[in-house]
Each structure stands twice: as structure tokens, then as C-alpha cells.
Structure 1
């Protein structure tokens, strides 16, 4: 077996399949960072930090019912959610921010945020691996 074929097999075994959603988010991040791998890692980490803040602050903010706090939180994560294509979470936060009720339970909203956090962590992990750039 030639070296090229061995490397291809190794890559296939080391990098699990990438979901369509992850590919879309990775492409969005790549376009924002113009292919700069270091900037992509920094940018993705900042976005991850925003999502972790949303996850930790949203439950208490909703319990307090403070619309100003909720508005500030929603304003902080809005660009993050737009970049990631998370229209559903953005729609819920926009509705809450304008004083509306939210349909899904807090548990399901936080589940969506968690799934997005995991997706972003996977992208960061892949971007930090040289093989990711080759893929």
C-alpha cells in the first residue's frame, strides 16, 4: 500500500463523519475568518464563550423576569447565533426580549444551546488538528 493511500485511511479513521450542520457552521466560520486557522480558533472560542454565558445566565435571568437583563443577554449572543445559523434559538430569544412568552420549555431551549456548544467544540477540536485543514 502506498503512503498516500495509508494517509487517506488514517484520516478516515481519525476524523469521524462530520454532520451537515457542522459543515455549514464550519463553512460560516471559515468565511468570517477568511481561511485564517489561528483566527478561526480564536473566533470560535469567543463564540463558545458567549454560548456558555447564555447557558449559565439564561435560567436565572428568566426566573428574575428582568427584561433589561434578558435584553442585554439576547443582544450579546445575537451575532453569535446569527453566525451559527441558530435561527430557532434566536427567534425564541427575540420573542422573550420583546416581552413574549416562549413555547419550548427552558429545558428544551437549553438542550438546543448545549447541542450548539458541542457542535462548536467539535469544530474547534477539528480546527486545531492539522488534518482538519487538509479535509
Structure 2
């Protein structure tokens, strides 16, 4: 008895990032545990990115900025980075104000054109 191969390619999803949902207001005593969780997700997974769902963080403030800065530092030390999901526009503005840049889901990565943008081709350009 032998088992036949299934048709097509096997499903391999090694690029799917882990997701960490950040609940309501986070107290300072929970920050080290969340940093350890980010490190564990990066060290145990196949992805270099942890998506932090910040939609439930509550009103943006310096506590949220401090938390995200520490999570990014923990991710960098583990060889990865974090990406934000569903940030409040005020939180995004506050992060810009203090000079912290985070990739946000749905935005093109640095160096990539935005979706729907095509390069113009001039008539004298040779075909590639």
C-alpha cells in the first residue's frame, strides 16, 4: 500500500507574521511580559515580523508610545521588527511627533510603489 502525492504544491505559509493583540490600557508592569512575548514569537517563528494589533489600546498617550518603542527594541534585538495593525490616527500622529516610525499594515513598504501606481513608459525606451 502506498500513499500517492497530492496534486499541486504543498501549502507552505512561512511568511505569515505572528499577531500580538495589545489589549486596553497596558500597565507598566505588563510591558516586560509583552516584550518577552514579541521575542518568543520572533525566535520561534519563521517570520521576521510581529503584527501588533493596537486597535484596542485605548486613547493614545505617552504610555502607548513607550510600550511600542520597547516592543520595537525587543523585536530588533531578536532580529525582527513589528508592524502596526489598526492604529488610531492620533496614535500615528503622536508616533510621528516623537520621531518613531512604524510600518502600518496596508501601507506600502519603503521603496515599493503604492498599489495601483504604474511606471510611465516613453516611446523611445527600449523593451526590457
Tell me the TM-score normalized by structure 2.
0.31
Larger helix percent: 1
Larger strand percent: 2
- Structure showing greater relative contact order (alpha-carbon pairs closer than 8 Å, 6 or more residues apart): 1
Tell me the TM-score normalized by structure 1.
0.30
